[in-house]
Amino acid sequence: MKTKLLIIGASGHGKVVADIALKMNRWQSIAFLDDNLDIKTSMGIEVIGKSSDAFKYVREYDIFVGIGNNTIREKIQRKLEAEGATIPIVIDPNAAIGTEVKLGLGTVIMPGSVINCCTTVGRGCIINTGATIDHDNLIEDYVHISPGVHLAGTVKIGQGSWLGIGSVISNNLNITSRCMIAAGAVVVKDITETGTYIGVPARRV
């Protein structure tokens, strides 16, 4: 790993990533890239260019994609990996990570979140504030688990899915890829069809 960190995205999600990175005390310096040319600094951290400039900094910086949109985050991270970028894992010191938990590159674990033993979280995932993921879960690449989401044991979440704030997934269930689970929804059976699911119990709309 390098001594400098570059975060793509200087808005909401990127700022939280930067805040965690500062608390980790691992990098000597941190900078942002952002496509909004009106943003010169964020949290007192300098914006040194646009997102497309990231490839100029591959040798100098660790690079983290601090963009909340799953599809955009995946597209950028895949390009960075193809160019040989060093992509870190960002973990808040106040997160609880169990034994034999595997985390993919480019994933952020936010404050107060819990990941229990024997769970695998893929590349480019967001485990947001106060989310809990119990034992033996499989979270595939580029999933966003929002604040306050609760996953019981032995749950599988497919690639690119988004679980809205406060949603709940019962144990031993599978959710297919590219799904959107609405805020507060409760999933009590497998979801095999891509789509948006709302309500208690969750239903497709």
Indicate the domain borders of the chain. Answer: 4-88, 89-199
Confidence of residue 1 (pLDDT cuts 50, 70, 90): confident
13, 135, 144, 150: which one is catalytic?
Answer: 135
pLDDT for position 27? 98
Q: How far apart are the first and last CA of the chain?
A: 44
pLDDT for position 133? 98
The CATH superfamily label for domain 89-199 reads Hexapeptide repeat proteins (2.160.10.10)
Q: Do domains 4-88 and 89-199 have the same CATH topology?
A: no
Confidence of residue 5 (pLDDT cuts 50, 70, 90): very high
Question: pLDDT tens for residues 59-117?
Answer: 999 999 999 999 999 999 999 999 999 999 999 999 999 999 999 999 999 999 999 99
- Judge residue 24's burial from the number of C-beta atoms within 10 Å of its C-beta, 0-12 exposed, 13-18 middle, 19 or more buried: middle
From the options 3.50.50.60, 3.40.50.20, 2.102.10.10, 3.40.50.12160, give the CATH code of 4-88: 3.40.50.20
Instruction: Report which of 160, 197, 5, 147 is spatially closest to residue 69, judged by C-alpha positions.
Output: 160
| Whether 13 is catalytic | no
Q: How far is CA 155 from CA 73, 97, 144, 175, in A?
A: 23, 17, 15, 8
For the segment 1-10, the average pLDDT, to the nearest whole number, is: 95
pLDDT for position 28? 97
- β-strand 102-103 against 4-8: which pairing, if any? unpaired
Mean pLDDT across the chain: 97
Confidence of residue 177 (pLDDT cuts 50, 70, 90): very high
